[in-house]
Amino acid sequence: MKTTNRVHVSVGAVALAVLGGLFLAAPAAAQLPSVSAATLGTGGNNTATVRGFGAIGANPAGLGMPGPGFSLALAPIQTLSGLDPIGLTDLKNAGGNLLSDATKADWLSRVTESGGQSGTAAVGVSAVSLNVGRIGFQLSTIASANVNLEPGIVELALYGNAGRTGSPADFALSGSSANGFAVTTAGVSVGIPLHAQTGTMALGATLKYSMGQALALVQDQGGRVQSDPVAVRVSLPVVSVDPDSFKINNGSGVGLDVGFQMKRGQMAFGAAVMNLFNTFAWNTDRLVYRAGTIELQQGTDSTSFEREAYGSAPSELRSAVDGMRFKPTVSVGGAYDVWPDLTVSADVRTRFGDGMSIDPKTHVGAGAEYRGFGFVHLRAGLAVITRGYQAGGGLSLILGPVDLSAAAAFQGGKVGQAALVQLALSFGAY
């Protein structure tokens, strides 16, 4: 505990400090992210058609279907960033200028109607992803951070303790949260061809082992800004991996993905269950707790950020840690070759629970790939996702055995504005 004399308390500055602190509390570093730009380019609608290294994270049965005998992706990267309801476009339009009263009122109205302001950032990087015949291997790291700010925090940041009315007011602060994690996963896949009179069929499975590198969770336990006399109390308890004793493995577990694909004539069908089972859990012996309290009033202040044992954390935070796991996801898809150079596809996907994921909980979409330009393959996709939509596209340059691929997608609707970008250099598949 630390106590010192104070001459002045700036409530607006405190609000901004809390706002920034929530973002900084979440560390920046799907278990096996899709490494194929073709998957993002078609809107994630290729459960029935994915092949080569792309099958490892989407549907391992693709390794048992006719496809490249060898394919390799070199460090493909996929990023996601988004804000809601004050989005990236709003910040760009503000352009660093002082916000007008109309803009402040509009932003606060939207935040209040939405129940808060959220921000998300995520990145997936694969050190290697390859298949040799029917066997595949992928090593990937995913890092994600999410922040949710309740309307009172946003109002303080925009207006200070005078609020929107211009008169000093009391504010109850509760409901804000932040979480972040970083997990590295290695997966080995196998595709098993099944020959039948009805057409080409295959089963597939991926066995995964995951290690957690970073975890941080913050949950506002209630605070208050008082106008007369001016006083501030903030309670932001934090559970995190011990920063003073970094270890590469702060949680671990194994998981299993299974899949099926069938191709008959111009039609294809696929289904996959990701995380049919998954034993991943964080090692609570390597987590620490900090109360995160700040009390300011005219003349004095006190703070409490001392390290404590994980068992001292509030039950809500400990339950949140227990929920940071990988949940089952079921995908079903179909595809049809309209022409030899044009394939259309559709997918339905849902995840059972929240846990750790950067993907929407539900997905219903369609995509297309056109290969009629020879060395240039074009893709587009559209999907209805949880609380919004996703639209995107991409292309590949097929330069002999070398493929240069890029894809991008935009998410909108109540889910908020978010942009996804993926670049990949690969051999033998895209």
Give the pLDDT score at 48. 96
| Sign of CA pseudo-dihedral 127, 129, 132, 134 | positive
Residue 61 φ then ψ, to 5°: -65, -20
Q: Which helix (H) or strand (E) holds 112?
A: helix 101-114
Q: Residue 50: which of 264, 196, 206, 260 has the closest Cα?
A: 260
Instruction: Kindly state the tokens that stand for 307.
Output: 């390290």
Distance (Å, whole) CA 136 – CA 192: 12
Does residue 22 carry a pLDDT above 60? no
Does residue 233 carry a pLDDT above 60? yes
Radius of gyration of the CA atoms of the chain, in A: 24
- The identity of residue 236, as a single letter, is L
Q: Is 43 left (phi over 0), alpha (psi -120 to 50) or beta?
A: left
* Percent residues over pLDDT 70 in the chain: 87
158 pLDDT tier (thresholds 50, 70, 90): confident
Q: Which helix (H) or strand (E) holds 291?
A: none
Separation in Å, CA 402 to CA 77, 83, 239, 378, 398: 17, 36, 45, 16, 6
pLDDT in tens, 381-413: 999 999 899 999 999 999 988 999 999 998 888
Q: How many other C-beta atoms can be found within 10 angstroms of the C-beta atom of residue 270?
A: 29
Contact call for residues 427 and 401 (beta carbons, < 8 A):
yes
For the chain, helix, strand, coil in percent to 5 are 20, 55, 30
Give the pLDDT score at 227. 66
- Per-residue HEC secondary structure of 368-399 comes to EEECCCCCEEEEEEEEEECCEEEEEEEEEEEE
CATH superfamily of 2-427: monomeric porin ompg (2.40.160.40)
| Sign of CA pseudo-dihedral 145, 150, 154, 157 | negative
Q: Any residues with CB less than 8 A from the CB of 197 and at least 6 apart, and which?
A: none
Distance (Å, whole) CA 56 – CA 137: 7
165-179, 325-339, 404-418: least confidently modelled range: 165-179
Higher pLDDT pick, 315 / 170: 315
What is the SS3 assignment for 132? strand
Higher pLDDT pick, 59 / 302: 59
Give the pLDDT score at 146. 87
Tell me how far apart the terminal alpha carbons of the chain are, to the nearest angstrom: 56
Give the pLDDT score at 272. 98
Domain ranges of the chain: 2-427
Distance (Å, whole) CA 230 – CA 9: 7
* Percent residues over pLDDT 90 in the chain: 44
Distance (Å, whole) CA 154 – CA 134: 53
Query: Is cis: bond before 85, omega within 30 of 0?
Result: yes
Count of CA atoms in the C-beta half-sphere (13 A) of 218: 27
Higher pLDDT pick, 47 / 37: 47
118-127, 137-146, 342-351: least confidently modelled range: 118-127
50 pLDDT tier (thresholds 50, 70, 90): very high
Q: Residue 237: which of 183, 301, 199, 287 has the closest Cα?
A: 287
Residue 54 φ then ψ, to 5°: -65, -20
Does residue 6 carry a pLDDT above 50? no
Name the E strands within 50-109. 70-84
Distance (Å, whole) CA 260 – CA 143: 29
Burial of 195 (0-12, 13-18, 19+ CB in 10 A): exposed
What mean pLDDT is predicted for residues 186-205?
Answer: 90
